[in-house]
Amino acid sequence: MDAPEPDTPFAAVTAQTTKYGRMFQSYLDKSTPFVAYRWVGTAVLFILFALRIFFAQGWYIVAYSLGIYLLNLFLAFISPKFDPSLEQDEGMEDGTAGSALPTKEEEEFRPFVRRLPEFKFWYSTTKAVSTGFVCSWFEIFNLPVFWPVLVVYWLILFGLTMRRQIQHMIKYRYVPFTVGKARYSNK
């Protein structure tokens, strides 16, 4: 049995938009377990964008903006959800205010919880690279800039930001990656 006909054209558009939104969300949900394939697709899209910028010899401000946004996303990805350096964040995870990170073996282990989960990081990265790629086809975004200055400024910004983040990781003893951590299997 089909759904009843909508009363107004706006209702018809809303119904179609909702239908396509649900279909898109379904595909996103189905892609969740395929982490490597998702990132490979995003990497291919990023390479296409970089080739477009390289061969077109323009749209450097779009590339710079994308670089700043991706750096911001990456910092949120490697940052803890509850920052131990901020007193108001302490104890928010389990509801007990005032508890610090474990410093001795007897203290409770608390796993690393990211500020930006992997799936949201991937989705935001893919949307940003897609938007940058589309913007690189419109002449209005091709602003005349001296690109070496943008590259040097981005590298300085990256270096300073990552140094601060690494110092924060060392000070509060957390590792946002699972490389090198012990894994236990059920045998």
Backbone angles phi, psi at 17, to 5 degrees: -65, -40
pLDDT value of position 92: 47
Instruction: Single out the residue of 99, 101, 96 nearest to residue 80, CA to CA.
Output: 101
Using the 8-state DSSP alphabet, how is residue 2 labeled? Answer: P
Summarize pLDDT for 55-92 with one digit per residue, the tens: 999 899 999 999 999 999 999 888 888 777 775 444 54
Residue type, 78: I
Q: Where are the chain's structural domains?
A: 19-89+112-172
163 CB-contact burial (10 Å; exposed 0-12 / middle 13-18 / buried 19+): exposed
Tens digit of pLDDT for each residue in 159-176?
998 898 888 888 777 777
| Number of neighbours of residue 165 by Cβ within 10 angstroms | 15
Per-residue model confidence as pLDDT tens digits over 31-64: 999 999 999 999 999 999 999 999 999 899 999 9
User: What is the pLDDT averaged over residues 111-119?
Assistant: 82
